[in-house]
Amino acid sequence: MPEGDATQGRRLGSAVAANPKNQVQSVGKVFAVLKAFGPGSPELTTAEVAARAGLDRGTAFRLIHTLIDLGYVRAVPATRRYRLTLRCLELGFAALSAGDLPSHATPLLREAVPGVADAASLGVLDRGEVIYLARVEAALERHGLVRRPGTRIGAYATALGQAILAWLPRADQVAHLHAVERVMLSERTLTGMDALLARLDEVRARGYAVADGENAYGLRTVAAPVLDASGAPVAGVSLTIATTREELAPFVAHAAPEALRIAGELGDGLRLSLGAIGLRP
């Protein structure tokens, strides 16, 4: 699909999703009932469900009993309370069945190429290097840049690596930076320890990393960390363009939110999966 068509399709899709006329209100109410239950409130009365879901008691009562008939909710014996059944796990099984983070990341990366970026990647940090686990690419072949899954490169010189490093404790940052030889990949590459640590502080404060020709001539990249439930970085997502496509400021303006969205969605998946989604080195 041409870039213009892809961008237009994305905008149309967002407009359709945002139009209230295209929403089935009863479906939203069903999920509000399901989400009313939680770790601190596994058993609720009809009134409590109604209050938590923002529904009147009559609607809550009917939805609860519909979910009982479908097997997703059951009544707690000898009480007026209800709880979710294990059948609710079916709702998430299809999303979790792929089993690893790269499989879940790839369709999200695909959404960004070519509309937002020429390439989108998922990578992890290993002994001072970034290992690419997933890559979706278009139109970067002429730059001779190969980032196939399994490719390694010094984390110090990549936005992807800096996005992960920035969320580590200082001692870990220093250890990773010392683990590899830091060489100039372009005249803009930072190699000094003090300069790199200062850059990581900037990345952490901003929330994402930006590289402009530091890793390879003619490329611009924005990257964001994938954080687990404790806030520790487990991976990173990057979006890259050729410098001939767009100036740095407008690229960062629309690519940074997209990188943060993808990374955030993957982080949510890690948290909600309770370990079912893992990394494939």
Mean pLDDT in residue range 146-154: 87
Shared-domain flag, residues 70 and 118: no
pLDDT attached to residue 10? 45
pLDDT-derived band at 18, boundaries 50, 70, 90 = low
Residues 92-107: b if buried by 16+ CB within 10 A, e if exposed:
eeeeeeeeebbebbbe
44-89 pLDDT tens trace:
999 999 999 999 999 999 999 999 999 999 999 889 999 998 788 7
Residue 220, domain CATH: 3.30.450.40
**Residue 181, strand partner residues:** none
Shared-domain flag, residues 54 and 138: no
- pTM exceeding 0.75: no
Shared-domain flag, residues 119 and 201: yes
Alpha carbon distances (Å) from 78 to 81, 82, 100: 9, 11, 42
Domain containing residue 121: 98-273
Residue 238 domain-assigned?
Answer: yes
d(CA 44, CA 137) in angstroms, rounded, equals: 49
Shared-domain flag, residues 26 and 51: yes
pLDDT-derived band at 96, boundaries 50, 70, 90 = low
Shared-domain flag, residues 51 and 124: no
Asked whether the predicted pLDDT for residue 1 surpasses 70, the reply is no
Residue 278 domain-assigned?
Answer: no
30 token code pair: 């069903």
Shared-domain flag, residues 259 and 194: yes
Which ranges in 71-100 belong to alpha helices (H)? 89-96
The answer to whether the peptide bond before residue 114 is cis (omega within 30 degrees of 0) is yes
Shared-domain flag, residues 79 and 36: yes
The lowest-confidence range among 7-16, 105-114, 143-152, 237-246 is 7-16
Residue 10, domain CATH: 1.10.10.10
d(CA 175, CA 180) in angstroms, rounded, equals: 9
d(CA 16, CA 2) in angstroms, rounded, equals: 21
Shared-domain flag, residues 89 and 107: no
Alpha carbon distances (Å) from 128 to 78, 157, 165, 175, 224: 59, 10, 9, 8, 17
- How many domains does the chain fold into? 2
The residue out of 93, 124, 140 marking a domain boundary is 93
222-258 pLDDT tens trace:
999 999 989 999 999 999 999 999 999 999 999 999 9
Shared-domain flag, residues 151 and 16: no
d(CA 254, CA 250) in angstroms, rounded, equals: 7
